[in-house]
Each structure stands twice: as structure tokens, then as C-alpha cells.
Chains A and B, each alone.
Chain A
Amino acid sequence: MLIKILGGGCKNCQNLHKNTLEALETLGVEAEVVKVEEINDIMAYGVMKTPALVIDEEVKVMGRVPKAKEITKILKEYI
């Protein structure tokens, strides 16, 4: 599973990153988590409001920071 966090690096993006790692730990799942900060790459996903959570190239959440619990639920679909 490849997880991408899209965002310029502001507080919200950091929180999303943190919550995602927390969710992965809860599930005990290994995954590659990549930060995408380059604006061209972010726009390639069509995301206009950061931060965004992309799992296996699919935009799952954007413009808000879901809690670790919600991310856990989203991740379960991919296991």
C-alpha cells in the first residue's frame, strides 16, 4: 500500500501525517508513507484544498484533517 500526504507543509499537513502514522500503527500494517509538497504534483491529483490523503493513487480525503480513528476505517478497505 502506498500512502501520500499532499500539502505544502503547514500545520494541517503535519497533523494528517501524524494521524496517518498513528492509524497504521493501530492496525499494525506496514505501508509506505510519502509527503508530496511540490505544487505541480498536488495539482496532478486535482486537489485544490490541502491537506489531502491519497491511498494507492486514489484521493480519499481532502481539505480537512480526519482523526486517526477515521483514517483507520478508510485504511481497512485496503487491507
Chain B
Amino acid sequence: MFNWLDYLAKLLVTQVFGLEMESKLGSSIHFFVYDTIKIVILLSIMIFVISYIRSYFPPEKTKRILAKFKGIKGNIMASLLGIVTPFCSCSSVPIFIGFVEAGVPLGLTFSFLITSPIVNEAAFIILLGLFGWKLAVVYVITGVIVGVLGGLIIGKMKMEKHVEEYVYKMDVAQIDPDELTINERISFSLQNVKDIVKRIWLFLIIGIGIGAAIHGWVPEDFLAQYAGENNPFAVILAVACGIPLYSNAMGTIPIAQALIGKGVGTGTALAFMMAVTALSAPELILLRKVIKPKLIVWFVIVTGIGILLTGYLFNFIGHLLM
């Protein structure tokens, strides 16, 4: 799909810069140019498609659908809707309140809150673009399973008293959002593409720069030895490193790609990306407005264990799916 780009990047390296493709500098420049353009194209297309689908699922509608479900079926539904319902972290508080007010059980709300960030377009694109659709689909399914199990556990623990009291007393109006026209959906999707690309381009370039450096200079076996599939601590370390990073979520794509290319386990790289997006410090600070510390701690523990297990699972079976 990107042969033309590969060809153009090679031309740039050999004809414009006059470098050998085999040289360290040449292969790094090729990697940098090729990857920057490829990722921006893939990202723009995917964000557009996903945003368009998402425009059909405003949270007000999601809330009403979920209020009708109970038990594990509800958790599954909540996780699936978590994939298609759009929300940025600044909306997580009103969404949480809206769900609780509508009588959506706490466990279902958490299934939604866990899956929504985990299964994100960035992770999906890296997997689809680099390893094919099989691994990408398994990743989405795993994200749903983590959300369903996490929500089930939190639901079973009867944590309702660890929600701030004011949430239950809040006066929430019921509104029916107007159906958007096709033009509005397209403009919403284009807006998303523009916003996300504008927000991440710098991180992307820095990330690809680091990736290119790793690509050209770090010896083949160095990373494989320390963070390869056989190192059981690599996944734990990756999750611990991922939590404090937030705005760099998209910038981690090229780094993860370069790392995987150098022998870091697929699961390790995935666990890192999941931790960056699902367990970010700003998200936890926002959630603190509506839930008490004890429930936040359990949210981190349950989600963290889910991500760790996903990491180990992918390190174990990842190569079967490629």
C-alpha cells in the first residue's frame, strides 16, 4: 500500500542526499521520512473513519442504551460502546455523572471507562499498519475483555459508597441530542483529524526521530536481550513507565514500532501503549472529582493487572498472529 512512498523516500536518500541506503545515516533518514508520512496518512484516514462512526454514538444515547442492560451482558455492551463513544478526558467527569444518574450500575460504567481509552485509534493503527489485521482484531477483543472483567470485579465489590455523595444528588436534565446531518458528521470528523494531527505532530516527529535513531544505531540484540519476550519483568516495567506519560500517547507509536523491530516483545510494547492511554495521571486526577481514593486505587489495580496480562498474552501468542 505504501510502496510508492518507500520508493520516494529511497529516491530522497540516494538522489537528493547522495547517501547509500545501507549506511546508518541513510537508513535512519529513510525510516524517518517514510514513517512520518506513512503514519500521518494512516492516522488521518483512521481518525476520519472512526470519528464518523462515533458521531452516531453521543454519550447521551450510550447512557440510555446501557441503562437497559444488566449483568455480564451489560458489561460487554458497555465495553463495546466504550470503543465507539467519543470522549476526551475533559468529558470523563460529566460522562461518569450522567451514567450514574441514569442508573447505569457502577460496574458497567467502569467497563466503559476502562475500554474506551485502551482501544484507541493509535494502538489500532500501529497494529494494523505493522502487523496486519489479525493482531489488530485480537488487540481490540483483548481490550474489551479487560474492560468487561475490570467492570465485573468493581461491580462485585459494591463500591457505590466510594462515589462522591454529590454525584447522586446532582440534578441532571434529560435531553435528546438532535440527529446530525451528513455534512455535520463530515465536518465533525474533519475537525477531529485536524485537532489530533495538530496536537500530536511535534510528539510524532520527536518520537519518530528517537525511533529512527534506535533504528540506525542501537545494535540488533541489545534491546532484545533486556526487553525481549523472555524477560518476565519487561511488561511490568513498561506499564510503570507508561502511567506518567500522557500527552505523548501518539508519540509512542513510532517508538513502539522501532522497539518491536529491535526485538522488544509485542506484548511489552502494547502494554506500554495501553498504560499510557488508560492509566494516565491527568485522567486519574479528573476522576478524583467524582470518586473517592479507594475506588481510584482499585481502578488502577484492576486495570493495571488487565494490561499486564494482555502484555504477557501477546508476548506469548503474538508471533502466532503475524
A50-B90 in contact given A43-B97, A65-B191 (Cβ < 8 Å): yes
| Contacting residues, chain B, for A28 (C-beta < 8 A) | none
Q: Which of A47, A49, A50, A67 has the most CB of B within 10 A?
A: A49
For chains A and B in complex, what number of residue pairs have CB atoms within 8 angstroms? Answer: 73
Nearest B residue (CB) for A58: B175
A48-B63 in contact given A39-B289, A43-B170, A62-B58 (Cβ < 8 Å): yes
Q: How far is the CA of A15 from the CA of B63 in the complex (A)?
A: 27
Q: Is the CB of B58 within 8 A of A46?
A: no
Q: Is the CB of A48 within 8 A of B95?
A: yes
| Contacting residues, chain B, for A10 (C-beta < 8 A) | 88, 90
Question: In the complex, how many residues of chain B place their beta carbon closer than 8 angstroms to a beta carbon of chain A?
Answer: 29
Interface size class of A (residues with CB under 8 A): 20 to 34
Nearest B residue (CB) for A65: B191
Q: Please, what's the 1-or-0 string for B162-173, where 1 marks a CB less than 8 Å from any CB in chain A?
A: 000010001111
A residues with CB within 8 A of B: 7-8, 10, 12, 39-40, 42-50, 59, 62-67, 70
* Sample of 30 A–B contacts (CB below 8 Å): A12-B90, A39-B93, A39-B94, A40-B171, A42-B94, A43-B101, A43-B172, A43-B173, A44-B171, A44-B172, A46-B172, A46-B173, A46-B174, A47-B175, A48-B60, A48-B63, A48-B91, A48-B95, A48-B98, A49-B58, A49-B60, A49-B87, A50-B91, A59-B175, A63-B59, A63-B177, A65-B191, A66-B184, A67-B187, A70-B184
